[in-house]
């Protein structure tokens, strides 16, 4: 009997040891898996590091590339395109002005009434879809359709038979080689348009002919892109505005430059002594940018590899996809997210607004994170610590983007001597410099709707410039530069201001 009891006891002990060994084994394997995932995160954090020293190197690189782009065509990754806009709205403009915003499958027409003294802006706006057949047909058909819509819009508010010529600002968000403030040649169509007979033809002229055929006494007085419109709108509200940045799905910047600094166009004269330069800064590149393996893969798989490198690191089109790529790598390294979801292999499955919602989820259990992972990426039922890991990934990607955008802004300020570093000689400190108030207009959903992005950008501006200088730099939010801004430019380039630019 004793032997039987002893045998049972031994058996139980062996079983207990086996169970304990299994539990310990599982814990060890779990720790190893978690360690691998944490290793991926740490590697990514190090690759995305944006110390103040590194950001200042990006600032310097941006300023150098701006100089190079102004010196010669093709001299820089920055195109530094002349806009021929030499007169920004001052707030004293009076009258009724119109705008047409064409940049996608819809177009908008606007009417703005200005009363001087920086009057409040309350534009009348109508939006219309463009019939699909007109996006691939003949240019005459497209512009006749737009002219008819403009005619009907004008007819609701003003007399279409008036002998007074109405002025129109035309925002055309497609690649154009500008030839004057009111003319430019289409380089290529994007966004689903494929009207062959318009390529390498003058854009504003085609619209003007359609307006004439319709019998509408309206003149296209400016042809601009949305970034230039944002600068105009910012300057209308605040005369210290010297630059504009759009940070949304895409990104771009423009700024006010002295004409004598535009070396590639020697002999350029403007009455104002300056001109707006469209940087096309999405194409900026420098070896100082903190690039990761995820950025390299995204670029290689994109329709435009080795192009728009800066945009791919800071704009809303790409941030969500960078996060997706990191989560995929972690899923392949470990089962912390469960079996690898097939949706993780689909580019742009995770859109940036959803990434932002996860990043800013402040619920104790991160319920938004859990919902988005389940609904969008088909990753259900992951533990809280894995959800926290996702939030951290979002934070790293967003922080890098916002801080690089800030460095880009300071690069512009450095180029035009508004960063507080100009004129420093031996023995003088930055605080000794007389710093002028400087405003930068910013538009775009990434900045206006993503609180963490905005806070990180401002934090970086303060760190790069230093508090003494940063308090003189103001970021102002504008809304609808592509519409209202274009109407304001039509006003500032009305008849008394036409022919301000000469080539000698």
C-beta of residue 49 within 8 angstroms of C-beta of residue 459: no
Position 405 in a domain: yes
For residue 441, what is the enclosing H or E element? strand 438-443
Residues 209 and 340 both lie in one domain: no
- Whether 27 maps to a domain, the answer reads no
Tell whether pTM > 0.85: yes
- Domain residues for 220? 84-224
107 part of a folded domain: yes
Residue 286, pLDDT > 80, answer yes
> Is residue 267 domain-shared with residue 161, that is, in the same domain?
no
In this structure, is residue 176 part of a structural domain? yes
487 phi and psi, to 5 degrees? -65, -40
Average pLDDT, the chain: 88
- Whether residue 494 lies inside any domain: the answer is no
Q: pLDDT band for position 119 (50/70/90)?
A: confident
Across the range 168-193, mean pLDDT stands at 89
Instruction: Write down which residue in 224, 255, 289 finishes a domain.
Output: 224
Question: Is residue 272 located within the same domain as residue 209?
Answer: no
Q: Which residue has the higher pLDDT, 442 or 28?
A: 442
Q: What is the mean pLDDT of residues 260-264?
A: 92
**How high is the pLDDT of residue 498?**
43
Report the phi/psi class of residue 117: left, alpha or beta, with left for phi > 0 and alpha for psi in -120 to 50.
left
Higher local confidence (pLDDT), 57 or 75 = 57
Asked if 103 and 123 sit in the same domain, the reply is yes
Predicted pLDDT at 290: 97
Domain shared by 397 and 413, yes or no: yes
Residues annotated as part of the active site = 191, 226
Q: Each residue of 300-356: pLDDT tens digit?
A: 998 889 999 999 999 999 999 999 999 999 999 998 999 999 999 999 999 999 999
Check whether residue 173 and residue 253 sit in a common domain. no
Query: Does the pLDDT of residue 215 top 60, yes or no?
Result: yes
Please report whether residue 495 resides in a domain. Answer: no
Quick check: 425 pLDDT over 80? no
- What is the average per-residue pLDDT within 170-195? 89
Residues 471 and 374 both lie in one domain: yes
pLDDT per residue over 440-466, tens digit each? 999 999 999 999 999 999 999 999 999
Report the CATH number at residue 413. Answer: 3.40.367.20
Same domain assignment for residues 178 and 73: no
Q: What is the mean pLDDT of residues 354-360?
A: 98
106-115 and 176-180: which strand pairing? unpaired
* CA–CA distance, 164 with 403 (Å, rounded to integer): 49
* Alpha helices (runs of H) in 302-351, residue ranges in sequence order: 311-314, 319-333
CB proximity list for 62: less than 8 A, separation 6 or greater: 281, 284, 286, 407, 408, 410, 411, 412, 414, 415
Asked whether residue 502 carries a pLDDT value surpassing 50, the answer given is: no
Asked which of 54-68, 420-434, 439-453 is least confident by mean pLDDT, the reply is: 420-434
Count of structural domains, the chain: 2
Which of 224, 256, 277 is where one domain is finished?
224
Q: What is the DSSP letter of 164?
A: S
- CATH number of the domain bearing residue 193: 3.30.420.40
Position 188 confidence tier, pLDDT thresholds 50, 70, 90: confident
267 lies in some domain: yes
Give the domain-ending residue among 224, 250, 273. Answer: 224
Mean per-residue pLDDT for 288-307? 94
Q: Is residue 254 domain-shared with residue 275, that is, in the same domain?
A: yes
407 inside domain: yes
> What is the per-residue pLDDT across 374-419, written as a single tens digit (0 to 9) for each?
999 999 989 999 999 999 999 999 999 999 999 999 999 999 999 9
Same domain, 124 and 196: yes
pLDDT of the residue at 41: 95
Residue 426 in this model has a pLDDT that exceeds 70 = no
Q: For position 468, what pLDDT does the model report?
A: 93
Among 290-299, 429-438, 446-455, 489-498, which is the least confidently predicted range?
429-438
Decide if 359 contacts 452 (C-beta within 8 A): yes
209 and 282 co-located in one domain: no
As a dihedral over the C-alpha atoms of residue 262, residue 265, residue 266, residue 269, rounded to 10 degrees, the angle is: -80
Q: Is residue 459 domain-shared with residue 425, that is, in the same domain?
A: yes
């Amino acid at each position: 009997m004793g032997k039987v009891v002893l045998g049972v006891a031994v058996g139980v002990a062996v079983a207990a040891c086996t169970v304990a060994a299994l539990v310990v084994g599982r814990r060890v394997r779990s720790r190893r898996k978690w360690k691998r995932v944490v290793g991926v995160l740490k590697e990514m954090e190090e690759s995305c590091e944006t110390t103040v020293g590194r950001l200042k190197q990006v600032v310097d690189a941006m300023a150098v590339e701006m100089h190079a782009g102004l010196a010669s065509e093709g001299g820089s990754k920055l195109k530094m395109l002349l806009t021929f806009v030499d007169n920004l709205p001052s707030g004293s403009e009076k009258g009724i002005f119109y705008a047409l915003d064409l940049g996608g499958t819809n177009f908008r027409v606007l009417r703005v009434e200005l009363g001087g003294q920086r009057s409040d802006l309350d534009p009348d706006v109508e939006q219309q879809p463009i019939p699909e057949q007109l996006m691939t047909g003949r240019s005459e058909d497209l512009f006749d359709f737009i002219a008819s819509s403009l005619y009907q819009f004008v007819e609701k508010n003003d007399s279409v038979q008036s002998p007074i010529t109405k002025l129109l600002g035309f925002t055309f968000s497609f690649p154009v080689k500008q030839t004057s403030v009111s003319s430019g040649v289409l380089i290529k169509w994007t966004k689903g348009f494929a009207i062959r007979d318009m390529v390498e033809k003058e854009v504003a002229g085609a619209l003007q002919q359609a307006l004439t055929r319709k019998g509408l006494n309206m003149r296209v007085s400016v042809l601009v892109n949305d970034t230039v419109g944002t600068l105009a709108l910012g300057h209308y509200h605040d005369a210290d505005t010297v630059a504009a940045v759009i940070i949304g799905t895409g990104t771009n910047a423009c700024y006010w430059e002295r004409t004598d600094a535009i070396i590639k166009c020697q002999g350029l004269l403007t009455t104002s002594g300056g001109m707006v330069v469209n940087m096309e800064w999405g194409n900026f590149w420098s070896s100082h940018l903190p690039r990761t393996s995820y950025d390299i893969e995204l670029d290689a798989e994109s329709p435009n590899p080795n192009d728009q490198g800066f945009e791919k690191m800071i704009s809303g089109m790409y941030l969500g996809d960078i996060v997706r790529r990191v989560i995929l790598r972690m899923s392949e390294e470990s089962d912390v997210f469960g079996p690898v979801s097939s949706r993780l292999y689909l580019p742009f499955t995770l859109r940036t607004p959803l990434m932002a919602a996860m990043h800013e989820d402040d619920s104790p259990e991160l319920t938004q994170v859990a919902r988005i992972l389940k609904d969008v990426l088909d990753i259900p039922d992951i533990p809280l610590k894995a959800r926290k890991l996702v939030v951290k990934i979002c934070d790293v990607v967003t922080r890098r983007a916002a801080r690089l955008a800030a460095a880009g802004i300071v690069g512009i300020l450095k180029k035009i001597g508004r960063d507080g570093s100009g004129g420093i000689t031996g023995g003088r400190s930055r605080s000794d410099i007389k710093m002028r108030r400087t405003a930068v207009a910013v538009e775009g959903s990434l900045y206006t709707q993503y609180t963490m992005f905005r806070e990180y950008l401002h934090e970086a501006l303060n760190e790069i410039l230093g508090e003494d200088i940063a308090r003189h730099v103001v970021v102002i939010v504008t809304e609808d530069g592509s519409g209202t801004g274009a109407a304001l430019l039509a006003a500032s380039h009305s008849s008394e201001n036409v022919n301000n630019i000469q080539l000698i």
